[in-house]
């Protein structure tokens, strides 16, 4: 059974309440229950969310040397700014898949650039919360 960490960055704790026309009306905790049921017996899904860049880096270091088989990472806006998170992904051994709920390429230009994508195994974006399921499937 695969052990996969779902890692969510800033403002994703507000899913369900935050800009529902962009991110939908469902909380991540609610969605996670469904996701865990779906992959029952196939994958153990760990979850961590932080609004702090350093806490996300620390988590990647903590799990990145065999503690998990892979990381599904939505870094929120840090995706577009954080060289440190990109370096953290490059520095660990386990594969990371970058995910986004929205199609960042249909949005403002500053969202078109990712500081993480080149360090990741792949990128999935634009499928709503289903982006996470697709990433977990791919990781398995
Ligand atoms: C996001 C896209 C980012 O541009 C934004 O800053 C987020 C959420 C997404 O999942 O669509 O916080 O990562």
Question: How open is the CA angle 35-84-73, to the nearest 5 degrees?
Answer: 10
Please say if 31 is a catalytic residue: no
Please say if 78 is a catalytic residue: no
pTM for the whole thing? 0.97
Domain count, the chain: 1
Token pair 């860049």 in the structure block, residue? 53
Q: What pLDDT, on the 0 to 100 scale, is given for residue 113?
A: 98
pLDDT tens sequence across 98-140: 999 999 999 999 999 999 999 999 999 999 999 999 999 999 9
Q: What pLDDT, on the 0 to 100 scale, is given for residue 15?
A: 97
Q: In this structure, what CATH number is given to the domain that contains residue 6?
A: 3.40.50.9100
> Atom 7, ligand 1: which residue's CA is nearest?
76
pLDDT tens sequence across 37-86: 999 999 999 999 999 999 999 999 999 999 999 999 999 999 999 999 99
Pocket residue to mutate for ligand 1, from 78, 100, 101, 114, most atoms within 8 A of Cβ: 100
Give me the domain span that covers residue 16: 2-116+123-139
Q: Which of 23, 31, 78, 132 is catalytic?
A: 23
Q: What pLDDT, on the 0 to 100 scale, is given for residue 115?
A: 98
Note whether 7 and 68 are within 8 A (CB). no
The DSSP line for 101-126 is SS-GGGS-GGGS--SSGGGSSEEEES
* Cα(129)–Cα(31) distance, integer angstroms: 8
Q: Which of 61, 100, 112, 132 is catalytic?
A: 100
Q: What pLDDT, on the 0 to 100 scale, is given for residue 86?
A: 98
């Amino acid at each position: 059974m695969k052990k996969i960490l779902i890692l969510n960055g800033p403002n994703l704790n507000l899913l369900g309440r935050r800009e529902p026309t962009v991110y939908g009306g469902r909380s991540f905790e609610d969605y996670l229950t469904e996701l865990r049921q779906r992959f029952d017996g196939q994958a153990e899904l760990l979850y961590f969310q932080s609004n702090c860049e350093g806490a996300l880096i620390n988590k990647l270091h903590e799990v990145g040397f065999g503690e998990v088989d892979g990381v599904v990472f939505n870094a929120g806006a840090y995706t577009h700014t954080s060289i440190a998170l990109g370096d953290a992904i490059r520095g660990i051994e386990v594969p990371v898949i970058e995910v986004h709920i929205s199609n960042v390429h249909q949005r403002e230009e500053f969202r078109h650039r990712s500081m993480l994508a080149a360090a990741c195994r792949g990128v999935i974006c634009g499928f709503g919360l289903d982006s996470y399921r697709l990433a977990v499937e791919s990781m398995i």
